[in-house]
């Protein structure tokens, strides 16, 4: 029925627009810049790579809420949308863990059989390819086509890193800079076009 | 000759209220800022129309503070959702065969 379809598109448009602030893009981009940089320049301190995302992730939601709710308001989506969002995010997480586990399993098996050539070839780009899976999942979960473009950029950067046998940090750094630039631009535009609104 | 009825729910039929109710129908609840952004209505307009919808039992209004900021949240009640669905059926019938059968 046309009116149902129109109401669905009204809800979808509103949901898509709720991510127009670019804060999540900025977080993802900066995290990738940090991880890539740590991988390249702090090789002896690989654990540091996860510090930025781990520290910033819990602060992200309250920070975003504070910026967004005073400009575009608070909305609680209907139960089907919330369930779909949670289910998709869980699937993305599960897919990421599964791919990581499969990668390790393949590495161990091939190392034991002495046939590491294929895995070795992809290793420089593996991290970027894993991030591409996460970006693709986020594109579906958040209904944001631009995240699919990020996934594409990560795939290209990952394959290029594999082809040129670079440090695995380079494709992340390159894609992270691109995503950070996009996120910053979106945030600036959002703040310009959405001034603070005072509730009555 | 059959009677032609066009008794649409006038409370919802008013353009600004229709805009507000439609936007509330597709979400669980939303605050004043969200509705203002989605509909382009002013604070006074939203407040007036929401009071009328609340009086009819179509909308529940909750005023609270989130930190130091006041937040007015609106939610369609069960009656409000049913009334909007009736309105959709009526306006659809009116536009297709020129009748609105219920209200």
| Rounded alpha-carbon distances, angstroms, from residue B86 to A190, B53, B91 | 37, 15, 9
Tens-digit pLDDT profile for residues B78-101: 999 999 999 999 998 888 877 665
CA A182 to chain centre: 13
Q: A110-138: per-residue pLDDT in tens?
A: 667 766 666 677 778 888 888 898 888 88
Nearest Cα of chain B lies from the Cα of A3 at a distance, in angstroms, of 8
C-beta atoms of B32 and A78 within 8 A: no
For range B32-60, the mean pLDDT? 94
Q: What is the pLDDT of residues A84-94, one digit of tens each?
A: 888 888 887 88
Spatial contact of A153 and A159, defined as CB atoms under 8 Å apart? no
Percent pLDDT > 70 in chain B is 89
Check CB contact under 8 Å for A10 and B32.
no
Asked whether the predicted pLDDT for residue A143 surpasses 60, the reply is yes
B89 contacts chain A (CB < 8 A) = no
Give the closest-approach CA distance of B88 to chain A in angstroms: 8
Chain A partners of B24 at a C-beta cutoff of 8 Å? Answer: none
Using alpha carbons, select from A172, A162, A156 the residue that is nearest to residue A41: A172
pLDDT digits over A9-21, tens only? 999 999 988 889 9
Q: In what order do the strands lie in the sheet with B69-76?
A: A75-77, B27-31, B69-76, B59-66
Question: What is the DSSP code (8-state) at residue A194?
Answer: S
Do residues A183 and A26 make contact, with C-beta atoms less than 8 angstroms apart?
yes
Q: Which of B28, B33, B37 faces A78 most closely, judged by CB atoms?
A: B28
**Contact state of A75 with B31 under an 8 Å Cβ cutoff:** yes
Whether the Cβ atoms of residue B58 and residue B98 lie closer than 8 Å to each other: no
- Listing DSSP states for A68-105 in one string gives HHTTT--EEE-HHHHHHHHHHHHHHHHHHHHHHHHHHH
CB count, 10 Å around CB of B57? 12
Q: Do B33 and A74 touch (CB under 8 A)?
A: yes
**pLDDT for the residue B72:** 92
- Stated pTM of the model: 0.80
């Amino acid at each position: 029925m046309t009116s149902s379809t129109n109401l669905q598109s009204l809800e979808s448009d509103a949901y898509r627009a709720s991510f127009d602030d670019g804060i999540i893009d900025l977080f993802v981009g900066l995290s990738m810049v940090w991880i890539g940089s740590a991988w390249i320049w702090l090789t002896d301190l690989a654990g540091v790579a996860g510090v930025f995302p781990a520290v910033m992730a819990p602060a992200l939601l309250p920070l975003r809420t504070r910026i967004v709710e005073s400009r575009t308001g608070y909305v609680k989506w209907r139960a089907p949308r919330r369930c779909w969002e949670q289910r998709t995010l869980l699937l993305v997480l599960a897919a990421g863990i599964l791919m990581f586990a499969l990668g390790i399993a393949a590495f161990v098996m091939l190392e034991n059989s002495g046939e590491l050539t294929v895995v070795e070839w992809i290793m420089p780009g593996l991290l970027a390819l894993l991030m591409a899976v996460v970006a693709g999942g986020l594109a579906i979960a958040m209904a944001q086509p631009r995240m699919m473009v990020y996934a594409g950029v990560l795939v290209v950067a990952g394959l290029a890193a594999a082809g040129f046998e670079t440090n695995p940090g380079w494709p992340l750094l390159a894609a992270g800079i691109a995503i950070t630039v996009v996120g910053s631009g979106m945030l600036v535009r959002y703040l310009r076009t959405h001034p603070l609104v005072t509730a009555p | 000759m059959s009677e032609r009825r066009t008794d649409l729910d006038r409370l919802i039929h008013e353009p600004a209220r229709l805009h507000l109710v439609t936007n509330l129908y597709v979400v669980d609840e939303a605050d004043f800022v969200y509705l203002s952004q989605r509909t382009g209505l002013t604070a006074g307009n939203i407040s007036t129309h929401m009071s009328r919808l609340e009086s009819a039992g179509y909308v529940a209004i909750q005023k609270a503070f989130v930190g130091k900021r006041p937040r007015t949240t609106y939610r369609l009640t069960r009656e409000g959702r049913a009334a909007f669905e009736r309105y959709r059926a009526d306006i659809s019938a009116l536009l297709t065969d020129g009748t609105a059968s219920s209200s």
